[in-house]
Structure 1
Amino acid sequence: MAPPTNSELNERREKNCIAISHERKYFRVGNTWVKRSLRPYEWQKHNGYMHVPLFNVDRVLNEGACLLFLAQTGIPLPKLLACFEDDGAAYLVTEYVDGVGMNDLDAESQAVVAEELQRHILTLKKLTSDSWGGPDNMVLKHLENFLTRQANSLPGPSAISYYAKI
């Protein structure tokens, strides 16, 4: 079966699915927001090429870990309800938060929001860690896996000396 296009996926999207990007499906069910990574058979073709989302499942799981971690800072965030993997896809389930765009606010309200955002940015800048890759070291795990795969496919010493001469 050929990879679908975005419009083909949108033509047959599930109930409560409000949008599909090249990497995710988004659902709103009442006061719940669900972000789901695409399964491999949903990866889409565009202009004759198939888009393969890198670390598709892990990026959603990492976002859930980040929400859980950042909830401890006092920065207002949607409440994380669940984050899990099932049938080749990762799900991030949060409360749905209604909002308005900055362009919909008057200048005085925009200034209040900008000041609040500055406070939250300062809070984020104060966060430190002894590990790299997010709250659960997910990026580090990917880097280790990638380097292991690369080490298993590196050219031998003669090829390396050949490439060094070029």
Structure 2
Amino acid sequence: MATRERGLEDGCLAVTFERKYYHRGGAFIKRNLRPREYRIGYRGLHIPRLGKERLINEAEALRYIRQNTDIPVPEVYCDFEDDQAYYVITEYIEGEDMASLSVEQKAIVARELSVHLAKLQTLRSNRMGGPSGIVIPPYRVMRRTAIDYWRLQVSNSVDEYVFCHNDLSQHNVIVDPDTLKIKAIIDWEYAGFYPAYFEMPFYTRPGPSIAIDGEVDDSERLLDFLMSKTDRAAWMSPGW
């Protein structure tokens, strides 16, 4: 969860254990923490996993969605690396997140969201991972494995995998509070082509994009699938 702290530089909205967020004019900026900015948690020093790679993946996913669908997502102005931090600069989207709405309002938004998800799954590929070429599994899978870099087999079927957001919680849906129309779906760091069942409808209830009490935890199934598709020859090749 992002927190607002005293002592942040001008324009910085919030900082987490992995990111800093800024709002400047019509731009929204997010970047990973530099090593000297890593924070101490209850388990000691927190070292973010794939901080740069997830941002690269998000920037490319946003561009891909804008180019291939009419799903509302922020425009990417630029992304770049500077002094050990990777920056993604997008348009700033005014609105309320879905989590702040009433139950009745959320139901209206969910109906529109289901239409966008159907469009998203018309995008298909025979390769898993994002348009960036980087494989960033859903967070609920990353929690179960220490593997950060994946080499996965290419499918013989050109349309086996569909495009998934993979982090579609209510906090990642920005809505016009007056019309209840979706203005943007945000936070595409874990997005990419995967089996359709990777896309769990976490937006149907409050909370994070992991199984909570009373829900079936599918993360082991997803991890087993990825492991079964591992290109072991590539892993064992020189330079891997």
TM-score bin, normalised by smaller chain: 0.7 to 0.9
Alpha-carbon displacement from aligned partner over 1:104-129 (angstroms, at most 9, x marks no partner)? 4583x544322211100111122211
Cα gap change, 1:143 to 1:33, in 2 (>3 Å): same
Out of 44, 47, 58, the position equivalent to 1:49 is: 44
Instruction: Write the distance in 2 (CA, Å) between the matches of 1:24 and 1:51.
Output: 12
Q: Confirm whether residue 143 of structure 1 aligns to residue 155 of structure 2.
A: no
Instruction: Write the distance in 2 (CA, Å) between the matches of 1:92 and 1:22.
Output: 17
Out of 55, 70, 90, the position equivalent to 1:94 is: 90
Higher helix share: 1
Q: Confirm whether residue 34 of structure 1 aligns to residue 41 of structure 2.
A: no
Q: Match of 2:135, SS? A: helix
What is the identity, as a one-letter code, of the residue corresponding to 2:130?
G
Q: Match of 2:72, SS? A: coil
What is the identity, as a one-letter code, of the residue corresponding to 1:65?
E
Give the fraction of aligned pairs with identical amino acids, expressed as a percent: 35
Answer whether contact 2:81 2:87 (CA < 8 A) is retained: yes
Alpha-carbon displacement from aligned partner over 1:7-63 (angstroms, at most 9, x marks no partner)? 9x9443211001000100000012110001101111111125111111111111111
TM-score under structure 2 length normalisation: 0.52
- For residues 16-165 of structure 1, what are the structure 2 equivalents within 5 Å? 16-47=11-42, 49-72=44-67, 73-102=69-98, 103-104=100-101, 107=104, 109-139=105-135, 142-144=149-151
Shift of 1:84: 1.2
Instruction: Write the distance in 2 (CA, Å) between the matches of 1:131 and 1:83.
Output: 24
Cα gap change, 1:111 to 1:11, in 2 (>3 Å): closer
Q: Match of 1:59, SS? A: helix
Unaligned runs of 5+ in 1: 1-5, 153-166
What is the identity, as a one-letter code, of the residue corresponding to 2:26?
N
Unaligned runs of 5+ in 2: 137-147, 152-231
Instruction: Write the distance in 1 (CA, Å) between the matches of 2:85 and 2:23.
Output: 17
Q: Confirm whether residue 15 of structure 1 aligns to residue 27 of structure 2.
A: no
- Provide the residue aligned with 1:157 in structure 2: none
Shift of 1:76: 0.7
CA RMSD in angstroms comes to: 2.9
What is the identity, as a one-letter code, of the residue corresponding to 1:135?
P
Instruction: Write the distance in 1 (CA, Å) between the matches of 2:66 and 2:109.
Output: 19
Cα gap change, 1:130 to 1:151, in 2 (>3 Å): closer
Instruction: Write the distance in 2 (CA, Å) between the matches of 1:30 and 1:82.
Output: 15
Q: Match of 1:113, SS? A: helix
Answer whether contact 2:32 2:86 (CA < 8 A) is retained: yes
